[in-house]
Amino acid sequence: MINQYDACLKCNLCELHCPVFRVTPAFPGPKNGGPGIERLRAAGKAVDETGLDLCLGCRTCEVVCPSGLSPAKLVHQPKIDKVRLRGLPAREWLLAHTNLLGEVAVRLPGVTNGSLGLKPVRIMMEKALRIDRRRPMPRYARGTFRSWFARRPSPWRERPAPNGQVVYFHGCSTNYMLPEVGRQTVAVLEHNGFEVILPPQRCCGLPLMGNGEIDEARRWAAYNVAQLRPYAEKGIPIIFTSTSCSLTVKQEYAHLLGVDGAEAVSPLCYDLFEFLAQLHDDGRLRLDFRPSPQVLPYHQPCHQRVQGIGTPAVRLLRLIPGVESWNMDAGCCGASGTHGFKREKYDISMAVGEPLRAALVASGAARGVSDCEACRWQMEHLTGMPAVHPITVLWEAYGLG
């Protein structure tokens, strides 16, 4: 195999499309920060890595590279090396442990949401942790998705589900902050004749990986693979409602983390709408939608685009009578998971999101749609208008509410 830096033609396409490079000269960019610095690193030279941590990990550079490189992965390497040497700083540790915080917060949602909404608390957080006070905190739910799921009677107690079983990997945000996304997903899957299985699961590990903590991410990944693999071996599809979780389990468990058995799990993994689009392709998706005239501008999460599966949500939303939906293709939203919370990155995150803000406002729609919760929070923060998961629209159109 050719070295990544030798395969780079310096065609500049990655720089042209990089959402960060265009808004700040402080970022060296995917070309120089990726294959460029890699050449020096490979030669054993000490290199200036200033600004590399401004990369959002959107992997646009990987999508547009005509030589099939992943500049983003090279750009990310110094962060991994640094964390291995010195460990995660306090703020990064907090932001990356979404599941541990969630376990605490979800037990006291009133206190948590209340205090996170207080100005003095945010000022303190900004001073102590450099978490930007202007970034709204996601609100924790009253009770987790899992506790709701465990309490409910399954509709398939009397007879087996006609279309078989699916495994649901809900991720942290659904469990602690957006249980309605999980409930709607379960309702739509059951409406289409599937039994939903909910194996134990931990955070997919992406927030850890994004902050450079690879070793702990690998332990979580190994746990998740152990939980998912028995189902994969039986050919049961594994479904995700967060596109960053799906990308991580589909690809990074094997590629970046090298977890045993990950290759067996990956081929069974589907983004929820990728799965529903597959049902439609096989003629198995129920089409009993109520007419719901509405304009739904769609924002494709970067971590879905890099999966090479197109925009299945747009295709399915268009099946609902009266829906006008299209992919705005307005670039990265700028939030990038935990990135947009950081004091020194807030302004960049908002500048990156500006074309998306303009496209949403120009659409004249009442709400936007995206599969990724971090994108949706950013869309709401950018515009003040609500943003929903596409499953919400499908759930409404099926009349399951």
Partner 1 sequence: MMKRSRTYDVVVIGAGLAGLMAALGARRAGAEVAVVAEGGGALELSSGSVDLLAGPWDALAEGHPYRLVGSDGIRDGLDAFLAAASAAGLPYMEDAEHRNQAAVTAVGSLRPTYLPAPGAAVVQPGCSVHVVGFQGLREFHPQVVAEGLRRAMPGLPVTWGWSDLPDGVTSLHPLQIARQLEEPACRRQLAARLAGQGVGAALFLPAVLGLDQAPAVRAELSAAHGGTVAEVPLLSPSLPGLRLGSALTRHVQRAGADLHLGARAVGAACGQGRIDSITCQTVAGAVAYRAGAFVLATGGLLGRGLDVGARVPGLPDAPIYETIFGLPVEVPAGPLAATELLAPGGHGFVRAGIRTDEHLRPPGWSNLHICGKMLAGYDPYAEGSGGGVAIATGWRAGLLAGGVAK
* Buried residues in 181-214 as b, exposed as e (16+ CB within 10 A): bbbbbbbbbbbbebbbeeeebebbbbbbbbbbbb
For partner 1, which is the closer residue by CB, 169 or 270?
Answer: 270
72, 62 Cβ separation under 8 angstroms: yes
Instruction: Report d(CA 211, CA 203) in Å as an integer.
Output: 14
Interacting residues toward partner 1 by CB under 8 A: 11-13, 15-17, 21-25, 62-66, 68, 235, 237, 247, 250-251, 266-270, 277-278, 281-282, 305-311, 314-315, 318, 326-330, 355, 358
188, 160 Cβ separation under 8 angstroms: no
Structure tokens at 366: 């009442």
Least distance between partner 1 and beta carbon 378 (Å): 19
Pick from 327, 336, 297: nearest CA to 95: 336
The dihedral through the CA atoms of 122, 20, 272, 381 has a sign that is: positive
Least distance between partner 1 and beta carbon 149 (Å): 24
For partner 1, which is the closer residue by CB, 101 or 309?
Answer: 309
Pick from 363, 361, 374, 386: nearest CA to 333: 374
Greatest Cα pair distance in the chain: 67
For partner 1, which is the closer residue by CB, 110 or 283?
Answer: 283
Least distance between partner 1 and beta carbon 141 (Å): 30
Least distance between partner 1 and beta carbon 387 (Å): 19
For partner 1, which is the closer residue by CB, 105 or 232?
Answer: 232
Pick from 209, 279, 274, 210: nearest CA to 240: 274
For partner 1, which is the closer residue by CB, 1 or 43?
Answer: 1
For partner 1, which is the closer residue by CB, 24 or 113?
Answer: 24
Least distance between partner 1 and beta carbon 178 (Å): 24
Q: State phi, psi for 34 to the nearest 5 degrees.
A: -95, -100
Least distance between partner 1 and beta carbon 331 (Å): 9
For partner 1, which is the closer residue by CB, 235 or 399?
Answer: 235
* Residue 167, helix vs strand vs coil: strand
For partner 1, which is the closer residue by CB, 135 or 250?
Answer: 250
Pick from 247, 276, 101: nearest CA to 184: 276
Pick from 395, 354, 244, 256: nearest CA to 306: 244
Least distance between partner 1 and beta carbon 225 (Å): 14
Least distance between partner 1 and beta carbon 356 (Å): 12
